Amino acid sequence: MQFNSPWLQFNRQSWPNLKEDIECDVAIIGAGISGVSTLYFLLHHTDKKIVLLEKNHVASGATGHNAGFACAVMETSIQQLINQYGLEKTKRTYYELDRGWELLLEIYNKLDMQEDFVRINHTNPAYTSVDNLVYAVTQEMLQDQIGRRRGSFLIVDDEKIKEKIPDELRKYIQFVPQEKILKTLKTQDKAYIAVLVTMETAKTARINSAKFCYKVLLYLQKKFPERFFVYENTEITQIDIESSCAVLHHARGTIKTHDVILCTNAYKDFLISDKEQKCSVLKLHESLMIREGYLAAYTGDNSDAYGAAFFDHRGMYESSPYFYVIHTPPSVNEKAGLTILGGPEYYISEDCSADLIQQHAQESFEVGKRFLKNTFNISKDSFDYFWRGIMGYTKSGLRWVGQDPEYPHLWYNLGCNGVGILPAISGGEKIAQLMNGETLLSSLFDPPESIQCHE
């Protein structure tokens, strides 16, 4: 199957590859939204000379292959976060996501890119099972406790369902006829018994994060022409951590840098070595798990902006415990509305074969068509766009943002990456603040202490 992402359908600038040995203050590896945002804030907050290194082309990773939904959501449940880290730290982590939203708006306004920003005021998670529903309402109650209530649940007015809902959750619920729920979801599938209706003020939008990267780089080239260089088709194969610097290796030479920042998402086909101890640094490689996600999209529906996630416990869509749909009417530069359908995901290994990818693609394609038919009675033989992207997840399920506790020349802005647009941006600002010598409160995103060092 052929892949084509809707986010890369524009005239893209290209940058040269690196052909020689160079020196700089900071080297950023990876030119997706994490790397480009980190560059943006470092240029604004410090006077460092920086290079941005990309093994393919700008936004060729997840940034050019996502669902484009900017939202302040953590993938780990709020209950898990509060149990493990307490209320205050959890609250602060959400603040970091909100900061990503503020910064996104600031950059869109500053660069006059509003035409690529489509607000989606309502996003509706929907449920077929009472157990999943009770869990979701409980999460809403906890969200409320940290001042982040998202909305109210509409639940089918049915005695059997009512009796399973604990009293303390009633405040978040309205019981309604099922038709209202189905209408909200625009579905015909009567298995759905509940939907969360979010508030108008939800911080959610559809953006093209690939275009964002190109526009930000063009802006930075005008504003800071002497302070940074971008090199595409420059793959870093090895990072040597020395006592006073890091040395990066690529096919045609080396880069000597004071600091290196990994914005490499799930990619880990490079070595990190501790030159003093003469050993490999494996923390990142051992922590990161790779997940691939498949998305499909079609054009032509010009109805209002709409977002929903369908949690279906019936097991009808093998690789997808849930599907999400993001629909936007045409923005200024588009001729037709775009409806994006996502869901199928698989854990894969680094050396995942092309055959396995084709098999996953075929399964995802079929399951997506089935979901559309069952949910919206839409029949499709093909999609206008069909694409895949990869995400990196750390073992803790949390992003790493900042300096390595053991190797001060090594920094990260990566990990836990399925909803990664906003944390990539706020992570970039945070790294610039830290490199500028500012002291920040500790965060759940601080890179972990222990380093496993193997001979």
Ligand X SMILES: Cc1cc2nc3c(=O)[nH]c(=O)nc-3n(C[C@H](O)[C@H](O)[C@H](O)COP(=O)(O)OP(=O)(O)OC[C@H]3O[C@@H](n4cnc5c(N)ncnc54)[C@H](O)[C@@H]3O)c2cc1C
The residues in 72-131 that bind ligand X, with binding defined as CB under 6 A, are: none
- 24 lies in the site for ligand X, by CB under 6 A: no
Indicate which single residue of 192, 212, 267, 386 sits in contact with ligand X (rule: CB under 6 A).
267
User: DSSP character for 287?
Assistant: H
CA dihedral (108, 110, 113, 114) positive or negative: positive
Which position among 97, 255, 419, 444 is part of the footprint of ligand X (CB under 6 A)?
A: 419
Interface residue with ligand X among 321, 329, 418, 448 (CB under 6 A) is: 418
Side-chain half-sphere CA neighbours of 167 within 13 A = 0
Q: Which of 414, 192, 142 is nearest to 322 (CA)?
A: 192
Please report whether residue 54 would count as binding ligand X according to CB under 6 A: yes
C-alpha torsion sign, points 126, 130, 132, 135: positive
In 3-state terms, what secondary structure has residue 299? strand
151 binds ligand X (CB under 6 A): no
Judged by CB under 6 A, the stretch of 57-65, 168-176, 275-283, 430-438 that binds ligand X is 57-65
The correct pick among 263, 308, 432, 435 for binding ligand X (CB under 6 A) is 263
Question: What are the CA-CA distances from residue 417 to residues 123, 272, 391 (Å)?
Answer: 20, 21, 5
- Encoded amino acid at 205, one letter: A
* CA 186 from centroid of its chain's CA atoms: 26
DSSP reduced 3-state for 308: strand
Q: Which of 151, 307, 343, 389 forms a contact with ligand X (CB under 6 A)?
A: 389
Contact call for residues 349 and 370 (beta carbons, < 8 A) = no
Parallel, antiparallel, or unpaired: how do β-strands 279-281 and 271-274 relate? Answer: antiparallel
User: Of 265, 287, 339, 364, which lies in the binding site for ligand X, with binding defined by CB under 6 A?
Assistant: 265
Return the range that interacts with ligand X (CB under 6 A); candidates 55-63, 77-85, 220-228, 329-337: 55-63
By CB under 6 A, residue 35 contacts ligand X: yes
Residue whose beta carbon is closest to ligand X? 420
Size of the site for ligand X (CB under 6 A): 42
Under rule CB under 6 A, residue 28 binds ligand X = no
Q: By CB under 6 A, what part of segment 330-369 binds ligand X?
A: 342
> Which of 9, 13, 14, 56 is close enough to bind ligand X by CB under 6 A?
56
Instruction: List, edge to edge, every strand of the sheet that includes 204-207.
Output: 69-71, 204-207, 117-119
Please report, as ranges, the residues that interact with ligand X according to CB under 6 A: 29-35, 53-56, 60-63, 65-70, 209, 235-236, 263-265, 267, 270, 293, 295, 342, 389-391, 414, 417-421, 424
